[in-house]
Amino acid sequence: MIKMLREIPLIMMKEIGYTYPNGARALKNINLNIFSGELIGIMGKNGAGKTSLIRTLNGLIRPTYGNIYIKNENTNSKSIATLSKIVGVIFQNPFHQLFANSVEEEINFSLRSLNLNKEEVQKRTDQILHEFDLEKYKKRSPLNLSGGESKKLAFASIFCRDPEILVFDEPTLGQDAKEIEFFINLINSERKKRKTIIIITHNIEFAYEYIPRTILMADGHIIADGPTKEVLNNEFLIEQTSLILPQICQLYLALQQLGLQEINKISSKNDMTNYLRNLLKNKSSKI
Amino acid sequence: MSLEFLNAFKYMKKQSFLHNLDPRAKLIFSIIYTISALLFTQIIPLFFIFLSLIPLVLLGKIFRQWVKSIRGLSFLILFIVILNTLFISLSFALAMILRIFIMVSAFSIFFLTVDPNDLALSLISMKLPYEFAFSFSLAFRFVPTIAIEAQNILDAQQSRGYEMQKKGLINQIKNLFPLLVPLIISSIKRAFNVAEALESRAFGSRKERTYYYSIKYSFKDYVFTLYLLVFLAFVIFIRVQFNSMPDFLMWSLPV
Amino acid sequence: MDLIRFESFYYRYKGNEEYTLNNINLKIEGNNSKFILLAGETGSGKTSLIRCMNGLIPQFYAGFYRGKVEIQGKNTIEASIADLSTEVGIVFQNPENQLISMNVEHEIAFGLENLGVSPKEILSRIKQTASITEIEDILDKAPFELSGGEQQRVAIASILVLEPKILILDEPTALLDPYMANKIINLLQEIRRDKNITILISEHRLDLILPFTEQIILMKKGSIVEHDSCEKVINGDNFQRLRLNKPVIFSIFNQLKKENLYNKNIPISISEAIKTLKSYY
């Protein structure tokens, strides 16, 4: 994706700091630019400030110092209600938001603050329930859904508002491969619509394979910001942020130690598979 | 304001004379001071009783928190001053304010210096059934957790466009549902999880339960209790003989 | 005598039409300690299976059952949950809801208090358990002062102190960052060796756990589809077909196996991968 050089970042965070009322400093001197259409991962130890960072985006937290600009406007002057129309944040626990009498009403509630007419509300509700394969639960109580379906409903309740920026807090927590694949497809279809996506995750393998740019946080600071494959391949950074090297990187290092020839740049599962495929085909090479 | 006020009742672990006292001695303290406050409607005696609290607050190293509890009452105090002045007199209003200060202090000091663990133990020593005392301390244990949960729920709902300010009483009540329903449900789920965990640790399996910690009345607890009883006797004496007491005790504002 | 034994056990929660557990036949021996992984897609019945192992099902969770479950010979319908908890220790998901005391030391003492153990004995057991779970320096902290990793260790300690013959954990690493998750799994391996008890873990994060796993119990739609050594299960068809979070190493070698370029056991750790590649030359 070509980045226009004169393009103004969609989100600009300048010298952001945040201190909780009890004195804990959650964010320190954060400087961050995010361009429209990017897919970004935020990783770091628990308590590093990841959740605090995303809460500044929709106004749940107001920075103690510094400024945030979204679409070139300072967020300080905007209410949470206004910001949440542009920035849709989906938190970890779907049960922190489900309360309505039916799945349908749950979506209606999310649409309420958008001031749409009745037909539009009905249309969007039907559309989103179809997209998330929740149509059959339309009249059911949201509390009667399984864990996986509740998570889908939580996604749907933000997606129906069609925000430009989507923020996910640990979307793959407790999910099996099928559910993670659903999530990946969801992200891909949103990217096609040129949405900007930010994901907080601990899932290193997922990040390595699917997320182009990663921000690492430690102790309230951003300590790294760059291409995921480089950031997560750095042993020093990994140690600082309580992560572990992706398996491909670990295998790469181990193969390197064997002194193999032609171990070119391997930076994906496919690359590694290709390399090993060739290795096993040409059994004449020595290990 | 309201959250700060609640903080003034939260237990803080410290090393101080008050903290080291048996919780039962502190319970006696709260009761005796409450009774003392209720015995008078005149400014001066109440003022002295209030003053006598201050050395205890200092002994407990909880001055700042105690001040917060008093400050948190400011709204209520304004309300009382206005009502009482209109209907009775400013003197009476001031006396009532002092009374409230004393009673709130009596309990804020108690909660600030009593470890909920010890509280449960003292209830048991007073022959309350174990399950009852345990539920009590369990409630304490989960108050901070539920407070955080409530904040998380508020965050999640605000992220969907939920707004807190609504006009009209009925709307305001309806507007609480998106917060209350998830909170109640998560609390019920939590209760199930806690119950399941308790069962798995043999809770309630035997009548003869042992106690790892114990509380015992020591010398300083007896001394403190003695002081409290003497204090109460003194206060009652003043009250009973009030009319033959020096005039300055009955001083009131010329309003 | 088997430590845990399910015989044609069926279970349906009250209010549910479908059976959550279907014809479970399972034997877990008690004599030598093992590291067992319980794996399955979400909704396959893993948590429900775990609840059967100390009598929570059917005593705490009302429902309909058929067949029988025995723990060390004791029927889970007749023996009390408290009694069964001295044989089977369960650490549930989300340690926050298992920590009920105001400080760590009391948390560990709690289960023993309930069983009527003398305070002297409690003290000695606390010392021992705190040392194994490395929580000696946080004994006086309150539960909300603890980090995720510390909470998990305290929860484990509070069950370990009851000296069960098997320690069962339901998704112990769910809320932890990768480094912490790894530490906890290593800790469990140490506990297994020191105390010679079997560890059974239900997990989604297979990449961290497989290197330690000796046996796998695979579940699908409420049934156990396979229970065998790690090696056999990983290389079998059932594991292939289930939509689990397979380690990247597994996926790569599995692909090579499908292309007939690789015909040995699929490695589940980096060292295994290197070893098996070397063996080709």
- Per the structure, the complete domain to which residue C19 belongs is given by 2-246
Contact A83, A55 (CB under 8 A): no
Scanning C142-247, the segments in alpha helix (DSSP H) are: 148-160, 178-195, 206-209, 230-234, 237-241
List residues bridging with C65 in a β-sheet.
Answer: C11
Q: Which residue of A has its CA nearest to C252?
A: A273
Instruction: Give a yes or no: residue C45 inside a domain.
Output: yes
Q: Considering only CB atoms, which chain A residues are within 8 Å of B177?
A: 99
Among C114, C86, C89, which Cα is nearest to C100's?
C114
Mind listing the pLDDT tens digit for each residue in C55-87?
999 999 999 999 999 999 999 999 999 999 999
Confidence of residue B121 (pLDDT cuts 50, 70, 90): confident
Judge: B196–C114 Cβ closer than 8 Å, yes or no.
no
Query: Is the minimum CB–CB distance between B193 and chain A shorter than 8 Å?
Result: no
Please count the CA atoms within 13 angstroms of the CA of A99 that sit on its side-chain side: 23
Q: Look up tokens 């050594």; give the residue.
A: C229
- Give the count of alpha carbons within 13 A of B54, CB side only: 5
Q: Checking DSSP bridges between strand C2-13 and strand C21-29, what pairing results, if any?
A: antiparallel
Task: Please tell me if residue B117 touches chain C, with a CB cutoff of 8 Å.
Answer: yes
Residue C265 lies in a domain: no
Residue C31 lies in a domain: yes
CA-nearest of B130, B135, B202 to C100 is B135
| Interface check B161 vs A, CB under 8 A | yes
Confidence check: pLDDT of A250 > 50? yes
* CA of C42 vs chain A CAs: smallest distance (Å): 6
Residues A281, C277: C-beta atoms closer than 8 Å: no
| ipTM of predicted assembly, 2 dp | 0.90
Give the nearest chain A residue to C261 (CA atoms). Answer: A280
Judge: C98–B194 Cβ closer than 8 Å, yes or no.
Answer: yes
Asked if residues A111 and B176 have their Cβ atoms less than 8 Å apart, the reply is no
Distance from CA of A88 to the nearest CA of C (A): 23
Instruction: Quickly state the pLDDT bin for B175 (edges 50, 70, 90).
Output: confident
- The closest alpha carbon to C146, from C126, C175, C125, C113, belongs to C175
Q: Answer whether residue C253 is part of any domain.
A: no
- Out of B119-123, C207-211, C227-231, pick the least confident: B119-123
Q: What is the CATH number of the domain that holds C219?
A: 3.40.50.300
Mean local confidence (pLDDT), C186-205? 94
Has residue C86 been placed in a domain? yes
Q: How many CB atoms lie within 10 A of CB B106?
A: 21
Using 50, 70 and 90 to split pLDDT, how confident is the model at B1? very low
A11-245 falls under which CATH superfamily?
P-loop containing nucleotide triphosphate hydrolases (3.40.50.300)
- Are the beta carbons of A96 and B178 separated by less than 8 Å? no
The predicted-structure confidence for C113-159, as pLDDT tens digits, reads as follows: 999 999 999 999 999 999 999 999 999 898 888 998 999 999 999 99
How far is the C-alpha of B204 from the C-alpha of B201, rounded, in Å?
9
* For C16, nearest residue in chain A (alpha carbons): A144
Angle between helices B74-87 and B90-113 (to 10 degrees): 150
Strand segments (E) across chain C: 2-13, 21-29, 35-40, 63-71, 74-75, 88-91, 166-170, 198-202, 215-220, 223-229
Mean pLDDT of all residues in chain C? 94
pLDDT tens by residue, C184-194: 999 999 999 99
- Write out pLDDT tens, residues A53-102: 999 999 999 999 999 999 999 999 999 999 999 999 999 999 898 999 99
Domain ranges of chain A: 11-245, 246-287
pLDDT-above-70 percentage for chain B: 96
Task: Establish if C201 belongs to a structural domain.
Answer: yes
| Interatomic CA distance for residues C179 and A43, integer angstroms | 12
CB hemisphere CA count around C53 (13 angstroms)? 29
Amino acid at C165: K
Are C27 and C90 a contacting pair, CB within 8 Å? Answer: no
CA distance C115 to C121: 12
Of the candidates C102, C113, C158, which has its C-beta nearest B210's C-beta?
A: C113
* Residue C91: CA count within 13 A, CB half-sphere: 33
**Most B-contacting residue of C13, C14, C54, C98 (CB-CB within 10 A), to test interface:** C98
Inform me whether the C-beta atom of residue B216 falls under 8 Å from chain C C-beta atoms: no
Interface test with C, best of B121, B145, B152, B212 (most C CBs within 10 A): B212
Its pTM stands at 0.89
Residue C207 lies in a domain: yes
CB atoms C249 and A247 under 8 Å: yes
Q: How many domains does chain C have?
A: 1
